[in-house]
Amino acid sequence: MAKVFLKEGREEAPSRGHPWIFSGAIDKIEGKVDAGGIVDLFSHEREFMGRGYYNPRSQIAVRLLVSKPVEIDDTFFQGRIKQAISHRKSLLSPETTACRLIHAEGDLLPGLICDMYGDYLVLQLNTAGMERFRDVIISILKDLISPQMMYDRSDPGTRAQEGLPDSTGPIGDGPFPDYVEIWENGARFLVNVKKGQKTGFYLDQRDNRSLIRGLAEGKRVLNCFSYTGGFSVYASLGGAVGVTSVEASADALEVCKKNLIRNDIPLENHQLVKGDVFQFLRGDQGEYDLIVLDPPAFAKRKGMVPGAIRGYKDINLYAMKRAKDGGMILTCSCSQHIDSGLFHKILSYAAVDSCRQIQVLGHWGAPPDHPTALHHPEGEYLKAFLLRVVE
């Protein structure tokens, strides 16, 4: 097995449990290893620090799997995957049939994501190390879950950075359905696994959708970046007197309409707007009791942070202007490179420019089926603040 040695003074991160070793921290490599191969990590003084997989083409050169010299084989993956699935069983109610089964670093399996949509599983194998164990992982999931079918929705951009080809499509024989129906807290949704955002649905917003349902009674609601209408359906089921959904994708709005119908929600109480959210917020003169801002990640890379700051400030500034006195705003960021502290500052700047007094009623991250490793703060990508406009 190849050995990776760190530069002097670069031991702090792995010694406190962080799973990533960047290429700039590596001093030398003894032995031969190709992309995705298992390596042992040592300090500059040759002290064993962990075992993981290596990729010379990635900025994150080593992703640690264990801190002890245990065998990384079929038995190892079976134990880790079984542990992750067991954790989810205690989280789901009979009224929910979709969740994240495996959450990469959060389940000590960096590079691997698995989402369950009813009887179907959707995989992301985003790193060379996980791609190397593809067949093992698929076999274990089939044995433990017995899904009707599986689908590969690995992220093309991430795989390209790893030197891997694009990998999307059905796993196994037979056509995969265009839409899969799921239940979430008693609400019904159609999920487009093949072409939808992420793996088809924003599973990480489940708890926040429930929050909106509990706040929506008698309120006029604006759902920005509505996608297929998750928040819109929940708001309607919660008793909203009117809901406006704004989304740039006509296909997503069509699915939103189907989801409303599927939940017996009268369409006359719902306005579907195809358009750019920024332009809508600037031009709209309506006032709302409850506004949801759940945009896509504005900063997928560190170099995009300055532009993301401007984007988040703009949408929150205009949302604050559109909210009634006493109105509430659920504002979210799923940009990994915008941490909670920075997001809080952005919101405070928006509040100053909007000339509104704003309260923070609470803030949250992703639900328990999206766990984060304590020593991997980068995994805390989702930030959600519930704000109230005082005056």
Q: Quick one: tokens of 238?
A: 């919660």
Query: What pLDDT band is residue 187 in, cutting at 50, 70 and 90?
Result: very high
CATH 3.40.50.150 region(s) of the chain? 202-389
In the sheet that 168-171 helps form, which strands lie side by side, from edge to edge? Answer: 98-103, 112-117, 120-125, 149-153, 168-171
Domain with CATH 3.30.750.80 in the chain: 74-180
Distance separating alpha carbons of residues 122 and 318, to the nearest angstrom: 37
Q: How many CB atoms lie within 10 A of CB 324?
A: 15
Q: Taking the model in full, what pTM does it have?
A: 0.93
Which band of pLDDT confidence, cut at 50, 70 and 90, is reported for residue 245?
very high
Distance CA(250)–CA(103), nearest Å, equals 30
What are the catalytic residues? 334
**Domain 202-389 listed as CATH 3.10.50.30:** no
**CA gap 44, 28 in Å, rounded:** 9
How far, in Å, CA of 83 to CA of 116, rounded? Answer: 16
Q: What gap in Å lies between CA 321 and CA 356, rounded to an integer? A: 8
Distance CA 373, CA 19 (A): 9
Mean pLDDT over residues 256-266, rounded? 97
Looking at the domain 2-66, which fold is it?
2.30.130
Q: How many CB atoms lie within 10 A of CB 266?
A: 9
Report whether pLDDT(219) > 90: yes
Q: What is the mean pLDDT of residues 256-285?
A: 95
Enter the tokens of residue 88.
């989810």
CATH number listed for the domain at residues 74-180: 3.30.750.80
**Cβ burial, residue 72 (10 Å; 0-12/13-18/19+):** middle
CATH 2.30.130.10 in the chain is located at 2-66
**Confidence category of residue 348, pLDDT binned at 50, 70, 90:** very high
- Percent of the chain at pLDDT > 70 equals 100
Query: For the chain, what is the radius of gyration of the CA atoms?
Result: 22
Do residues 34 and 14 lie in contact, with contact meaning Cβ atoms separated by under 8 Å? no
